[in-house]
Chains A and B, each alone.
Chain A
Amino acid sequence: MPGKEVPITELGPSHLNQLSQQLDQEIEFIQNSMSQLKVVQTKFVESRDSLDKIIPDNKGKEILVPLTSSMYVNGQLSDVEKVLINIGTGYYIEKPIPEAKEYFKRKMEYLTTQIEKLQPALQEKYKMKQAVVEMLQVKVQAQIAAQQQVAKS
């Protein structure tokens, strides 16, 4: 809310409704971001785990190289020293295996801290949402009571 702060006790039902919808949107956004971060994290885990297979013992062994998600060709593992990593925006860097593992570990830690940062924000939004909904109920009930009073008199 831009401008000065307004306590939710002073807002009317329509404003409260609007606020609750806005909070819903924000919660959804944060949840989406979190699940996206988790998806990326599992990708990093997979990449790091597949590095465990690239050891000198496996040099020269036959592998199936995926050309598309449903077609593979035969290949031989010729280089067990270095891998190419996509670091984003079209840049790739060549790294020895231990450093590559280090890279993935770092990325995973980075993502974990990002997810941890989102958690309290999400909690906060939930709390706000609850407060708004409760206030809305109180207001609506008060309105109904007032209407009944008018109808009686």
Chain B
Amino acid sequence: MKCRGSYGEYQKCLSTRQQLDAQLNENGLVKDELVRLEEGATVYKMIGPVLVKQDQDEAKQTVQKRIDYISEQLKKHDCLIKDLEKKQDSHRENLQKLQHQFQQSQVKAATRA
């Protein structure tokens, strides 16, 4: 049961990591585009259903901040995933040991009977 629980957690962690990766990628592409922009080009930001004009530098800053934040989150998740992998391995070992013991005791019971 413990094994299954940690597996679910592991899966959840993996999918968040994937999401973070996708977000980082998208923000990276946006940053590339913003860097390529000429001086004075207009940038709009979608806020709900409206487009709002935004300063180029401000947009660049926001995107950079997002990238920094997401990278940090990614690092945290990598650590978490590693921990969970370790935990899973130890659970698996435990399980194998228990199964082995169970089999041995069964064999013993069979020979006794």
A interface list, Cβ under 8 A from B: 2, 84, 87-95, 103
Assess whether B30 is in contact with A88, with CB atoms less than 8 Å apart: yes
Q: How long is the Cα–Cα vector from A39 to B30 in the complex, in angstroms?
A: 20
Interface residues of chain A: helix, strand, loop or mixed (majority): strand
Selected from B45, B85, B89, the residue in CB contact (under 8 A) with A91 is: B45
Q: A2-B85, A93-B37 are in contact. Are A88 and B29 (CB under 8 A)?
A: yes
Contact A91 B42 (CB under 8 A): no
Q: Is B39 part of the contact surface with A, judged by Cβ < 8 Å?
A: no
> Contact: B44 with A91, CB < 8 Å?
yes
Measured CA separation A90–B30 after assembly (Å): 10
Answer yes or no: B113 CB below 8 A from chain A CBs: no
Asked if A91 and B29 make an inter-chain contact with CB atoms under 8 angstroms apart, the answer reads no
Which residues of chain B come closer than 8 Å to A88, judged between CB atoms? Answer: 26-27, 29-30, 33
Nearest chain B residue, comparing its CB with the CB of A95: B41
Listed in ascending order, the chain B residues whose CB lies under 8 Å from chain A are 26-27, 29-30, 33-34, 37, 41-47, 51, 59, 63, 66, 85, 89
Q: Whole-angstrom distance from the CB of B28 to the nearest CB of chain A?
A: 10
- Cα A145 to Cα B45 with chains together (Å): 69
A54 to B34, CA, bound (A): 24
Q: Roughly how many angstroms separate A13 CA and B59 CA in the complex, as a whole number?
A: 56
Given contacts A87-B33, A89-B66, A91-B30, 15 further A-B contacts (CB under 8 A): A2-B85, A2-B89, A84-B44, A87-B29, A88-B27, A88-B29, A88-B30, A89-B26, A90-B46, A91-B33, A91-B45, A91-B59, A92-B51, A93-B37, A93-B41
Q: Does B41 lie within 8 Å of A92, measured CB to CB?
A: no
Q: Which residues of A contact B34 (CB under 8 A)?
A: 87, 91, 93
Choice from B27, B30, B41 contacting A94 with Cβ under 8 Å: B41
In whole Å, how far is A4's beta carbon from the nearest beta carbon of chain B? 13
Report the separation of the CA atoms of residues A94 and B42 in the bound assembly, to the nearest whole angstrom. 6
The reply to whether B44 and A94 contact each other, CB–CB distance below 8 Å, is yes
A92 partner, pick from B26, B27, B46, beta carbons under 8 A: B46
How far, in whole Å, are A82 and B16 apart by their CA atoms in the complex?
Answer: 38
**Shortest Cβ distance from B3 into chain A, in angstroms?**
15
Residue of A nearest to B27 (CB): A89
Measured CA separation A103–B30 after assembly (Å): 12
